[in-house]
Structure 1
Amino acid sequence: MDTVGITAFAAGLVIAIVTAPVGVSGAVFLLPVQLSVLQVPNPAVTPTNLLFNVVAGPGALWRYARSGQLAGPLTRQLVAGTVPGVVLGAVVRVFLLPGAVVFRLVAGCVLLPLGVWLVIRTLRANRRPANRTPWAASTVTGLALVIGVVGGIYGIGGGSILGPILVGRGHPVAVVAPAALASTFAASICGATAYAVLSLFTGGSIAPDWTLGLLAGLGGLVGGYLGARLQRRLPETGLRLLLGAIAAVIGALYLVQGATI
């Protein structure tokens, strides 16, 4: 394994350990590593992220399944929405948003306000009880469909956007995290396949970088399992703040990068 391969594996490992406890696959942080360190061409970074999700996902999901956290209606509702959404997002990404600047600005505009909203809401909830009414199943599935489109464009399967929204709505992180990872895993399989098919009919770097995606995914496979083990040892408030901070930091990073390119 060369230096690039070792870097990809290590990045996947560390990122997944940090993000798996809050239901984020880690692809949201892997993308800047691809662009800035591994020099993966755009838009191939998006399907490579989806490939990472496919390989890394089973690590955390296996752990959550063993602890009984995957059973429940939320997982089914999210999968039903994100799977068709991510395929549509792949088409939008290839034909309408191929440029790196627009791509980063769109991602930043989505993730930064979500992260800040979740952090503020979590801090306020510590001062006074929040009165939240759970959404109906149809609303959750519809939201998952919309976020799936965004996730297909961004290469994250949608889980890292759904997580902050649902947790901010009042759902426990212990319920949202496995459901979001399951939807990300299912959507990423469909999204990566869609990009592979689109690469047969269009020019440019659309197919995933198979070597880097697999190596980073193997790191994420190990890191995801370890991160899922850590979840029950972390307080709910800390998990909510971590999820909000992850979304806000990566959103701000992309807005800065998009504005300076």
Structure 2
Amino acid sequence: MTGTGVTGHDPRVNPLEAGLSALAAGFVVAIVTTPVGVSGAVFLLPIHLDVLGVPSPAVTPTNLLFNVVATPGALVRHHRTGSLGGPLTSRLLVGTVPGVIVGSVLRVYATPGEAVFRILAACLLGPLGLWLVLRRPRPPAPETTAGPARATITALGFVVGVVGGIYGIGGGSLLGPVLVGLGLPLAAVAPAALASTFVTSVAGVATYGVLSLVSTGPVAPEWAIGILCGVGGLLGGYLGARLQPRVPEKALRILLGLLAVGLAAAYLVAALT
């Protein structure tokens, strides 16, 4: 089964209008979230679900497709600086890639209902929002700080991969603060988390593509929406990075945190009533 393009599953939606909305959504979300260091995919999924009308569970791989298109620009920048190498990336991928496959299978066969998915989304958005609101700047960890054991990193990657396969995020927003909190330097964490997000998202989209061949219902990503959102995210992320020194990071972070908490509350109310 394949996606239905920018029209979603509602024939009343104008394809051009839906395509422009997807492009604009990816651009706006990325330009706002990039200065705060949060993945735009976390906030884009509610737009896919409630504004663009992407059905469930196709909304998850569509969100992952956003990561596939939107992150290569930042990866190229890290590659040019030589910061993409190192063992951290490979240790994360050993966990995240199998994790996203497991999460994708769970999403299709264990949590297909929209009410259950909204509860799961609330469980992710709520803590993330509180973390954004309550986060305090920390001094960077020194390069010589002993980080977590290899098995701990791989296990963390697996858990994040499962969450990514269910919710539709690559996991960088979850991996970054946890790894820094465990004592790893931000300079090493940022490129590794981004690379993990990209590869995990590719694996997730591929897994949903395979599952769509053996499952009923809308399982494959909405390719046009995901790609157009990703192009918008690529452009918005570049501009957001350029504007980062000029924006009030704290105010923007609190605003996004309150938005995440509000979305979580709204999802819980909608799912339980």
- Per the TM alignment, residue 250 of structure 1 is displaced from its structure 2 partner at its CA by 2.5
Count of residue pairs the alignment pairs up: 251
Going from structure 1 to structure 2, the CA distance change for 1:74 and 1:134 (only over 3 Å counts) comes to same
Where does residue 127 of structure 2 map in the other structure? 113
Cα shift readout 1:177-205 (whole Å, capped 9, x = no counterpart):
32212101101111101101111111111
Q: Match for 2:202 among 177, 189, 205?
A: 189
1:138-157 correspondence to structure 2 within 5 Å: 138-157=151-170
Cα shift readout 1:213-240 (whole Å, capped 9, x = no counterpart):
1111111122233344556x489xx58x
Does structure 2 conserve the Cα–Cα contact (< 8 Å) formed by 1:25 and 1:184? Answer: no
Q: Percent identity?
A: 58
Q: Match for 2:57 among 33, 39, 43?
A: 43
Q: Match for 1:180 among 193, 211, 214?
A: 193
Cα shift readout 1:150-180 (whole Å, capped 9, x = no counterpart):
1100011222222232234344444333221
Where does residue 95 of structure 2 map in the other structure? 81
Going from structure 1 to structure 2, the CA distance change for 1:89 and 1:215 (only over 3 Å counts) comes to same
Q: Match for 2:232 among 201, 219, 243?
A: 219
- Structure with larger Rg: 2
Going from structure 1 to structure 2, the CA distance change for 1:108 and 1:140 (only over 3 Å counts) comes to same
**Which TM-score applies when normalising by structure 2?**
0.80
* Structure 2: stretches of 5+ with no match in the other structure: 1-14, 140-144
What is the RMSD of the two structures over their aligned residues, measured on CA atoms?
2.9
Cα shift readout 1:91-111 (whole Å, capped 9, x = no counterpart):
000000112221122232234
- Per the TM alignment, residue 38 of structure 1 is displaced from its structure 2 partner at its CA by 0.8
Corresponding letter in the other structure for 2:73: G
SS at match of 1:38: coil
Going from structure 1 to structure 2, the CA distance change for 1:185 and 1:161 (only over 3 Å counts) comes to same
